[in-house]
Amino acid sequence: MLQESDGTAAQRASREMAWPTPVARGGYRVLSRIADGSEELLRLKDGLLASKARIDSKYFYDATGCALFNAICTQPEYYLTRTEARIFSRYRAEILWHLPMGAQWVDLGCGDGLKSQPWISAMGARRYLAVDIAPEAIDNALRQMVALFPAMECAGVVCDFSQSLSIYDILGEQPESAPVMFYPGSSLGNFTPPHAFALLKTFRKNLAPHGCLLIGVDLVKDARVLEAAYDDAQGITAAFNRNVLGVVNRLLDADFDPKKFQHDARFDPRAARIEMRLISTVDQRVRIGAESRRFDKGESIHTEYSHKYTVEGFGRLLLKAGFARHRVWTDPAGWFGVFLASA
C-alpha cells in the first residue's frame, strides 16, 4: 500500500533514491528502487485539472487511509477480505501441495505482511521478500517476519511495482529457490484491464522459468452486493474516499474541503467494475498549488475502479499474459477466486 503520511513533495523527493541502495537494518536489508516522484505529482495535478477530474487510487493510502482501509476490511458489507481468508484456510493444504518447497516468498504490496505469515510457516519459505511503495510498511512487515522466522532470510524492495518491477537480480541470487509471488486482496482489480494485463506480464517475466503467482481476485456478482461493499452503513468507505482529498492537499498544496464532496460508488455492469467518485455538493473553486479549478455542484472526481472478473475471464487473462497453466479455488457462493498460476 502506498503510504504518504509524511508526504510533502519536498520530503518525498528527498527520500527517493537511485538504486541499488541496500540498507542493512536489524537482520534484513532493504533496497530502494523508486524513481523521481516529481513526474508523479505532475500527473496527479494534471488529473485534477482535467475536464473529467481524477485521482489515482494509490493516493488513498496515507496513514489514515491505511487505517480506514483496515476498518473497511472488517465491515459486514465488505465480504472480500473474509471470503478470501476462508478460501485460504479451507484450501491451504491443497494449495501448498502445488507450491514449491523452500521457495522465495514475494509479498507484493506487503502492507503489514500478516496475510503471508501462515503461508510462510506452512511451507518453510527460504526467503521473504517484501515489496511495497511504503518503506514504513516494509520495515513493519520485515521486523515481524524476522522475529517470527529467525532462520529465514528477509529482505525488502521499496518500489512502485504498478509502474515497474524488476527483481530478477534479487531472485537470481538464489536460483535453486523458485519464487512465489503473493498478491492477495483483489488489488489487481484497481487497475484498468490493459494495466492489469501489463502487470501480469511483468509478474510472469520476473517469475520465469519456475515461479508461480498466488493471487486473489474478486468475482462478478449481484450489483446490490457489490455496491453495498463499497458504501458500508458505517460510512467507513465514504471517509476513506474523502480522505484522499487531504492527501492531495498535502502533496499539491491544495485546499479541497472534504466536507464539500459526497462519496459515490456504482457498479457498471458493462465494464464489470465498481466506480468510486467524489461528487461536489456545491459550486466551488478549489486551489491546486499555483492554479485553481471550479467544480460545479454535481461534478465529480473519479477516485477508483475496482474491476470484477469471472473465473473464465481471469483464466484467459492469465493465459494471454503468458502463464502456462493455473488452478482456481473459490468459496461456495462463487464470490471470490484464488488463482495459482505457473510461469
Applying CB under 6 A, the residues found at the interface with ligand AVI are 72, 80, 185-187, 189-190, 230, 237, 304, 306
Query: Which has the closest alpha carbon to 156: 141, 178, 175, 174?
Result: 141
Q: Smallest gap, in angstroms, from Cβ of residue 240 to ligand AVI?
A: 6
Give me the least distance between CB of 176 and ligand AVI, in Å please: 34
Q: Are strands 212-218 and 336-342 parallel, antiparallel or unpaired?
A: antiparallel
User: CA 125 to CA 155: how far, in whole Å?
Assistant: 13
Q: Kindly state the smallest distance separating residue 304's Cβ from ligand AVI, in Å.
A: 6
Q: Which is nearer to ligand AVI, 28 or 79 (CB)?
A: 79
Rounded distance, CA 54 to CA 303, Å? 6
Cα angle value 236/238/240 (rounded, 5°)? 70
Q: Which residues contact 175 (CB under 8 A, 6 or more apart)?
A: none
Q: Minimum CB separation from ligand AVI for residue 44, in Å?
A: 18
Rounded to a whole number of angstroms, the minimum distance from the CB of residue 308 to ligand AVI is 9
Instruction: Report the C-alpha dihedral over residues 111, 191, 263, 274, rounded to 10 degrees.
Output: -120
Burial zone of 298 (CB within 10 Å; 0-12 exposed, 13-18 middle, 19+ buried): exposed
Which C-beta is closer to ligand AVI: that of 34 or that of 188?
188
132 vs 304, beta carbon nearer ligand AVI:
304
Nearer to ligand AVI, 11 or 262 (CB): 262
Least Å distance between CB 185 and ligand AVI? 5
Measured from the CB of residue 114, what is the shortest distance to ligand AVI in angstroms? Answer: 15
Between 80 and 318, CB nearer to ligand AVI:
80
d(CA 338, CA 86): 11
What does the alpha-carbon distance between residue 61 and residue 317 come to, in Å, rounded to a whole number?
27
Q: Within the chain, what is the greatest distance between any pair of CA atoms?
A: 61
Of all residues in this chain, which one has the CB nearest to ligand AVI in the complex?
306
Q: Measured from the CB atom, is 125 or 131 closer to ligand AVI? A: 131
Q: Which is nearer to ligand AVI, 83 or 187 (CB)?
A: 187
